[in-house]
């Protein structure tokens, strides 16, 4: 039973790491702290595994606890991930410090379009008007 728990922990860790990568490096506004919530089910599953191995818990109880933790934790992580993506896609960004990040992230694939924009906004620039919204929000 502990081998199945080890496999589940590894799979969940890979999925959560990928989700953390998406919300911290692939979105315009980075969610470093909120993204750590993705690892709570993994930590709980590791604790459950440790408790089950140390206390020799019955197999049926392990299955019930693991299944409920995976379902509840999986749904919570999925809802949080959808909320973060929706929030980032609906955001209207007017801060000029995001300019170069948005330019490299969103327009980098179209090199011809990239030629028309400066690489960054100079620090001494005045009356900056910057407006960005995701293509999903147009």
Domain locations in the chain as residue ranges: 2-90, 96-137
- 37-52 confidence digits (pLDDT tens): 888 888 888 888 888 8
Q: If pLDDT is split at 50, 70 and 90, which confidence band does 137 have?
A: very low
Per-residue 3-state assignment (H helix, E strand, C coil) for 10-79:
HHHHHHHHHHHHHHHHCCCCCCHHHHHHHHHHHHHHHHHHHHHHHHCCCHHHHHHHHHHHHHHHHHHHHH
Q: If pLDDT is split at 50, 70 and 90, which confidence band does 1 have?
A: low
The answer for residues whose C-beta is within 8 angstroms of residue 42's C-beta and 6 or more apart is 9, 12, 13, 16
Exposed, middle or buried: residue 100 (CB in 10 Å: 0-12, 13-18, 19+)?
middle
What percent of the chain shows pLDDT beyond 70? 88
Q: Is the pLDDT of residue 2 over 80?
A: no
Residue linked to tokens 């694939």: 109
Cα(42)–Cα(15) distance, rounded to whole angstroms?
10
- Please give the model's pTM, rounded to 2 decimal places: 0.68
Q: Is the pLDDT of residue 90 over 80?
A: no
Q: In this structure, what token pair is assigned to residue 132?
A: 């960005």
pLDDT attached to residue 138 = 46
For the ranges 14-23, 46-55, 112-121, which has the lowest average pLDDT? 112-121
pLDDT attached to residue 109 = 64
User: Mean pLDDT highest for which of 26-30, 58-62, 100-104?
Assistant: 58-62
């Amino acid at each position: 039973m502990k081998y199945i728990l080890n496999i589940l922990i590894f799979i969940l860790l890979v999925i959560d790491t990928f989700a953390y990568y998406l919300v911290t490096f692939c979105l315009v506004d980075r969610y470093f702290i909120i993204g750590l919530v993705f690892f709570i089910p993994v930590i709980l599953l590791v604790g459950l595994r440790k408790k089950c191995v140390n206390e020799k818990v019955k197999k049926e109880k392990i299955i019930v606890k693991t299944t409920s933790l995976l379902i509840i934790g999986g749904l919570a992580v999925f809802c949080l991930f959808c909320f973060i993506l929706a929030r980032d896609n609906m955001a209207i960004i007017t801060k000029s410090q995001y300019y170069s990040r948005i330019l490299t992230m969103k327009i980098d694939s179209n090199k011809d379009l990239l030629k028309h924009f400066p690489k960054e906004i100079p620090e001494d620039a005045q009356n900056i008007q910057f407006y960005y919204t995701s293509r999903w929000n147009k």
